[in-house]
Amino acid sequence: MATLVDAPKGQVGRPSRSLTLDQSLALLKAARESRLNAYVVLSLCVGIRTEEARELRWDHIDLDGDPDPVRPVPPSVAVWHSVRQGGDTKTAESQRTLALPQAAVQALREHRKRQAEDRLAAGALWQDHGLVFASAIGTPLDAANVRREFRKISEAAGLGTGWAPRELRHTFVSLMSADGVPVEEIAHLAGHNRTATTELIYRHELRPVITTGTEVMDRILNLRG
């Protein structure tokens, strides 16, 4: 009988956008006083998914690395879990360990200090889940918590309230592409199992005109000057 019922059509979601470099810098500046600062910095600088960020635990993060002179290991984040059902990442390829930029390392160090202060203030109310991003009493953040605080940051940055946390990941892809990083490497960093995913979903953020062929042929045929 279910086949005889017309299922309601879902609403089409708003396509994700990407911040420009100037907008990104304004957002990072506005986020400094927010409890969500490290979340914003990490998402923008590393490109992890929102569901991956909310499931991060402190034992997934190495802020010191290994300065071994022969085989040094940089500070890193192990993205191996998410808030999806079962705790798995979106795909097997999404499980990845990423080096942390210094901006993210600094933001996470400051965040850890703030969380220690929260723990002291909460006293017996503190619930220790080991989460990097948690409420003032240690409980998990839900998506609505993050979206609400993120809107405050984007508004303070002069960008309005129409931005969503997921667009930090789109911005990461955009900035990588604008700097000339190959799509294969962007896909690897973003945890996509195919470069086609990167190209199809983030096409509006990749270079709109592929110039490689022109540059190569101009050089080969010496058509310039």
**In this predicted model, what pLDDT tens digit does every residue of 173-184 receive, in sequence order?**
888 777 777 777
Total domains present in the chain: 1
Distance separating alpha carbons of residues 194 and 221, to the nearest angstrom:
34
Domain assignment present for 145: yes
Who has greater pLDDT, 38 or 17?
A: 38
Domain assignment present for 23: yes
Which pTM was predicted? 0.76
Domain assignment present for 10: no
Query: Given a cut of 90, is residue 108 above it in pLDDT?
Result: yes
Residue 90 a catalytic site member? yes
Tell me which of 57, 90, 119, 151 is the catalytic residue: 90
At 99, is the secondary structure helix, strand, or coil? strand
Domain assignment present for 5: no
Beta bridge partners of 97: 78
What does the DSSP assignment read for 126-192?
-----BSSB-TTSPBPPHHHHHHHHHHHHHHTTS-S---THHHHHHHHHHHHHTT--HHHHHHHHT-
Could you report the per-residue pLDDT of 44-91, keeping only the tens digit for each?
888 888 888 998 999 999 999 888 777 777 888 888 755 444 444 444
Tell me which of 81, 166, 169, 170 is the catalytic residue: 169
Which pair of tokens denotes residue 13? 């979601």
Domain assignment present for 193: yes
Tell me which of 49, 54, 81, 96 is the catalytic residue: 49
- pLDDT interval class at 98 (50, 70, 90): confident
pLDDT given at position 200: 57
Domain assignment present for 7: no
Domain assignment present for 2: no
- Name 1's Cβ contacts closer than 8 Å, sequence gap at least 6: none
**Residue 52 is part of which domain span?**
15-221
Query: CB of 110 within 8 A of CB of 39?
Result: no
Tell me which of 60, 96, 111, 202 is the catalytic residue: 202
pLDDT given at position 172: 84
Residue 169 a catalytic site member? yes
Domain assignment present for 43: yes
Q: CATH no. for residue 162? A: 1.10.443.10
Tell me which of 54, 96, 166, 192 is the catalytic residue: 192
Residue 204 a catalytic site member? no
